[in-house]
Amino acid sequence: MTDAPAKQKKPDSCSFVIFGVTGDLAHRLVFPALYNLAATSLLPDNFCIVGIARQGMTGDALRDSLMKGLREFATRPVDDSIASRLLECVSCFEADPKDPASFDQMKAQLEKLEAARNTGGNRLFYLATPPGAFPTISRQLGRTGLLKEEDNAWRRLVVEKPFGTDLASARTLNGELLKILDEHQIYRIDHYLGKETVQNILVLRFANGMFEPIWNRNHIDHIQITVDEKLGVGHRGSFYDVTGALRDMVPNHLFQLLSLVAMEPPARFDAHAVRSEKAEVLAAIQTQSEADALKNSVRGQYRGGKVGDTEIADYRKTEDVKPDSTTETYAALKLTIDNWRWAGVPFYLRTGKALGIKRTEVAIKFKQAPFAMFRDTPVDRLSQNYLVISIEPTEGITLQFNTKVPGPSINIDGVEMKFRYKDYFKAAPATGYETLIYDCMIGDNILFQRADSVEAGWQAVQPFLDAWKQAGDRDLETYQAGSEGPAQADELLKRDGRSWRKLG
């Protein structure tokens, strides 16, 4: 069993300025991740956290509220002395994007605090706000000069998802940000890249000699990427009903998985090389016509049902959801990648809410062996050769293959070889944001999305968005909460002579 990770360097002194500090994300993930970094001595020596509230919040009220959040969402037992040292770093300033003067005042306050805390002027602005606020906040930060890199101080902007709602809006947002900042200052977060198992896809492929030679159309039949969730939409109706499963999950989280699995080997393990290869493969996803997009997709909406013991209400009866909503809560797509490695290898993607199981995995299905030798074994008795990268809830890798059943005659059965992270490594549970925040502070943007990949992702899903909008509720399937999703998703593979890996 391997213990703690290799020793990491401490980031430069800096201030960490959070917009949207009163919100769920800041309380549930960002602050608990900062706590975990503090607990492992990975915060800068000179550090301050500034929460920006629109109005009426005192420093004490913010500290109380963050502490309450930490008690609820911490991933490890909270040590009060570490927590209070972290809270001592927290201040609260006011700034409202609708009131430019408030940004000027905030700048003056921040500069004073930075001088007192000796942070060297390095700043990280974290936009944990609803996406509508990204452009206005960035504009004000740009106007006041708060983002200008000068006097050897770095200035960085972290932008949460969703980055745009379609190709046009993502391009506009990139254009806005790039007027104010250089690409190297922008950190577009996708929390999937904070997951160890997701980062491990790169290591599995490129730090082992045996996978890469067979990682192509000659040996791989197809690839399935699944992100199934048990939770319904809950209280997020107003966000979700204008977003839907496709926008919420595919151009970001599922495409992170797809790009890591499908990219070419980068020449170096650095941000430029890795991000270029990821962008390249996303740009190679075939852009489908609207007619093909309809043929190659299934969307569904859940109806009431039970997930385990929990009753989930009909999606259309969810708070803040339109009673005649046509928003999909499930999406399945068939994509192809137009390059030599992947020509003719379908990528099937599926994701949904209120399903019977929580599971995130990438399953690589290898081509069947020619079984002339084992003529007496019915094909369906042979196990399918899958390499399954399990991301959640199990973290590990499984290889399925055929083996001889002990006995005098040759009988064949499928078996599994399993690697589980927890059997080998003792990692403390984490939010997944620790690595991402730490990387922002050390200036490593390898795990962040570059403008070109974000746009390539939207480009690939745009025909589906357009086709579904056109179709309205035509072809909108339904499925019962707690099920495996709409039956039509099975047809998508069945017509190619394939099937999804079963749930559970």
Nearest CA to 337 among 503, 225, 228?
225
Report in angstroms how near the CB of residue 252 gets to ligand BG6 at its nearest.
7
DSSP 8-state assignment for residue 348: E
Quick one: 21 or 246, whose CB is closer to ligand BG6? 246
Contact at 8 Å (CB) between 123 and 156? yes
Q: Which is nearer to ligand BG6, 119 or 360 (CB)?
A: 360
| Dist. CA 250–CA 432, nearest whole Å | 19
- For residue 482, the tally of other CB atoms under 10 A from its CB is 19
Asked if 253 is an active-site residue, the reply is yes
3-class SS string, 397-426:
EEEEEEEEECCCCCEEEEEEEEEEHHHHEC
Whether the bond between 393 and the residue before it is cis, its omega within 30 degrees of 0, is yes
- CB 324 → ligand BG6: shortest distance, Å? 22
Which residues bind to ligand BG6, rule: CB under 6 A? 161, 229, 248, 360, 392
Angle between helices 31-39 and 434-442 (to 10 degrees): 70
- What does each C-alpha distance from 403 to 351, 368, 399, 427 come to in angstroms? 32, 14, 12, 34
Catalytic residue among 27, 191, 222, 253: 253
Work out how close the CB of 195 gets to ligand BG6 at its nearest, in angstroms, rounded to a whole number. Answer: 7
Give yes or no for a contact between 364 and 261, defined as CB atoms under 8 angstroms apart: yes
What is the closest distance, in whole angstroms, from the C-beta atom of residue 193 to ligand BG6 in the complex?
11
Using alpha carbons, select from 339, 409, 405, 411 the residue that is nearest to residue 378. 411
Q: Is the dihedral of CA 284, 349, 361, 28 positive or negative?
A: positive
Q: Which is nearer to ligand BG6, 192 or 342 (CB)?
A: 192
Report which of 360, 221, 362, 245 is spatially closest to residue 298, judged by C-alpha positions. Answer: 245
| Closer residue to ligand BG6 (CB): 122 or 301 | 301
Nearest CA-CA partner of 255 in 186, 341, 192, 203? 192
Nearest residue to the partner ligand BG6, using Cβ: 248
In this complex, which beta carbon is closest to ligand BG6, that of residue 230 or of residue 498? 230
Q: Which residue has the tokens 């959640």?
A: 392
Residue closer to ligand BG6 by CB (options 123, 161) is 161
Nearer to ligand BG6, 119 or 226 (CB): 226
176: its two tokens: 């806005």
Q: How far is the CB of 88 from ligand BG6 (least distance, A)?
A: 31
3-state secondary structure of 155: strand
Q: In whole angstroms, how close is the CB of 449 to ligand BG6 at the nearest point?
A: 13
Q: Which residues contact 54 (CB under 8 A, 6 or more apart)?
A: 94, 95, 96
Least separation in angstroms between CB 433 and ligand BG6: 11
Q: Which residues are the active-site residues?
A: 253
